[in-house]
Amino acid sequence: MQVQLTNKLYSYLVHHHLDLLIALQEDHRLTHYLEHKVNSVWELYEGLLAENRPADVIEALCMEELTRDLRPSRFAYVRALLEEEFNIDYQRMNDRGTLTYEIINLIGACEPVFSMFGFGEDMEDSRELKYAVKGMIAEYLGRWYRSGFHVPIDEQQ
């Protein structure tokens, strides 16, 4: 079960917290992080096992606990907002292979807004947060355009 939880947590990071995954890999701390997180729910796992809970229920409850402090995902939030509201720019970044890099930069640019609103599960659907983050993305994209990154590759020569 430990391997399954580690793999599920890794997959969760890939899909919801690619920024954290990349940072952990760059610092050579990914393995330690995954082991520490999975070990942190081991008591829960053993308790559920002792209660004869089905394996899929144990896994789901352990994953719920493992990801509790990772929700909601700023990475997923910014990526979704960029794709929905700035689709042409999203596609350009994706076509260039810079989408992940730019989303990570956008998270940094939006940090003051996330802090001000106390980004969390209770604020994820806030219209005010959405408009504030959209404004920061628009500002970032304005700088992005001024730097020339919006020009198609074949026109840059």
pLDDT digits (tens, 9 = 90+) for 102-113: 999 999 999 999
Q: Is the pLDDT of residue 99 over 70?
A: yes
Looking at residues 28-46, what average pLDDT do you find?
96
Q: Is the pLDDT of residue 146 over 70?
A: no
pLDDT digits (tens, 9 = 90+) for 55-72: 999 999 999 999 999 989
Measured in residues, the chain has a length of 157
Q: Is the pLDDT of residue 153 over 70?
A: no
What does the chain look like in DSSP terms, one character per residue? -HHHHHHHHHHHHHHH-HHHHHHHHHTT-HHHHHHHHHHHTHHHHHHHHHTT--HHHHHHHHHHHHHGGG-S-HHHHHHHHHHHHSHHHHHHHHHHT-HHHHHHHHHHHHHHHHHHHT-STTTTT-HHHHHHHHHHHHHHHHHHHHTTTTS-GGG--
pLDDT value, residue 79: 96
